[in-house]
Amino acid sequence: MVALIVRALLVLAAIVAWNDQAQAQAGCTGQPSANTVCAGPSSGGTGLPSFRQLIGADLPALPAASIAVNTTAITGGTAGRLPYNNTGTFGEFTMGGDCTLAVPAITCTKTGGAAFAASATTDATNASNVSSGTLASARLPTGMLIASTGLTGGTLNWGGSVAADIATAVQFSGGTANKLLAADKVFTGEVTVTYGATTTFDFNTFINAAVTLTGNITTVTASNMKAGQAGTLRFIQDGTGSRTIPVTLNSNFKCAGGCNYVLSTAANSVDVIPYFCVSPTYCIGGSIIKGLQ
């Protein structure tokens, strides 16, 4: 009799449990949408469960243990190492020696154990690969001609050109630095100087000069005289004649016993004074050559 009562109670308990489960699932009917779960109200209040979107709390917590690559545990990344996947097997590259890893860049200071040159233009082994920039003279091949002061433009090895920077007549007379002198400039023509009561001889403009006197020269000024410059000053009387110049010519001219330049007086007569300059302020005046026709 007791056994029958116990069995009846168990059956009743099973019926009650099935009924509670059926009631709990009564709110989740039909086909659910993706990423949904059948759960009770999120507020925790009473009511039937229903399908709702998944939330973070529905997902299991991430494993606390780190991921192991070979025997190295990787949690937030390991300095100097790059993980890689080789068909499902994980390993890692190790940065060392020539290169270092500092996220997000890999920095290399050497190649094959040899330090990089400070600049490609000073690379002692690969200078021929430099396509732009300026190479130091020491990097040029043996026999390379370097165009410099006094040279310009002619064909050079590896391209370019070079030619002599030849002085013009004015540059020759003016003693311009870093110019080459051609033979046709050594023998320069006589330059005409304009007459004036004050006549100026600019030694930068001539080697030999001539002035036709249409009146008396009362003052002679001289400028740009240079040590080593030598030539002649030719004085020509006009059709009237009897024109004069200062007998000492100029304070920069020095003559043996003192200068005493007196010109020929005849109309159209020609006299010449030779000169040689020792310094910019000291020229030796030769004896006047008179009466040239």
pLDDT digits (tens, 9 = 90+) for 4-42: 555 655 655 555 445 545 544 456 777 777 777 777 665
Nearest to residue 208, comparing CAs of 188, 181, 235? Answer: 188
How confident is the model at residue 244, as a pLDDT? 97
At 202, list the tokens.
């600019």
Q: Tell me, yes or no, whether 147 lies in a domain.
A: no
Q: Tell me, yes or no, whether 2 lies in a domain.
A: no
pLDDT tens across 209-239, in order?
999 999 999 999 999 999 999 999 999 999 9
Do residues 152 and 162 lie in contact, with contact meaning Cβ atoms separated by under 8 Å? yes
Instruction: Give the HSE-up count for residue 54: Cα atoms under 13 Å, Cβ half-sphere.
Output: 9
How confident is the model at residue 117, as a pLDDT? 57
Give me the amino acid identity at 34.
A
Ranges 94-108, 163-177, 258-272, most confident: 258-272
Cis omega (within 30 of 0) for bond into 104: yes
Q: Tell me, yes or no, whether 271 lies in a domain.
A: yes
How confident is the model at residue 209, as a pLDDT? 97
Residue 59 and residue 171: Cα distance in Å, rounded? 94
Please give the tally of structural domains in the chain: 1
Instruction: Give the HSE-up count for residue 198: Cα atoms under 13 Å, Cβ half-sphere.
Output: 2
> What value, to the nearest 5°, has the Cα angle with vertex 281 and ends 275 and 287?
25
At 10, list the tokens.
């168990």
Q: Tell me, yes or no, whether 181 lies in a domain.
A: no
H-only helix segments in the chain: 2-25, 169-174, 183-186
Q: Tell me, yes or no, whether 170 lies in a domain.
A: no
How confident is the model at residue 121, as a pLDDT? 46
Do residues 229 and 277 lie in contact, with contact meaning Cβ atoms separated by under 8 Å? yes
Q: Tell me, yes or no, whether 238 lies in a domain.
A: yes
Nearest to residue 46, comparing CAs of 23, 65, 29? Answer: 23
Residues 6+ apart with CB under 8 A from 272: 232, 233, 234, 235, 288, 289, 292
**Bridging pattern class, strands 89-94 and 282-285:** unpaired
Q: Tell me, yes or no, whether 23 lies in a domain.
A: no
Question: Of all helices (H) and strands (E), which one includes residue 107?
Answer: strand 105-108
Output 73 or 291, whichever has higher pLDDT.
291
Q: Tell me, yes or no, whether 211 lies in a domain.
A: yes
Residue 198 and residue 251: Cα distance in Å, rounded? 14
Question: How far lies 60's CA from each of 68, 74, 136, in Å?
Answer: 21, 21, 67
How confident is the model at residue 171, as a pLDDT? 85
Range of the domain at 224: 189-292
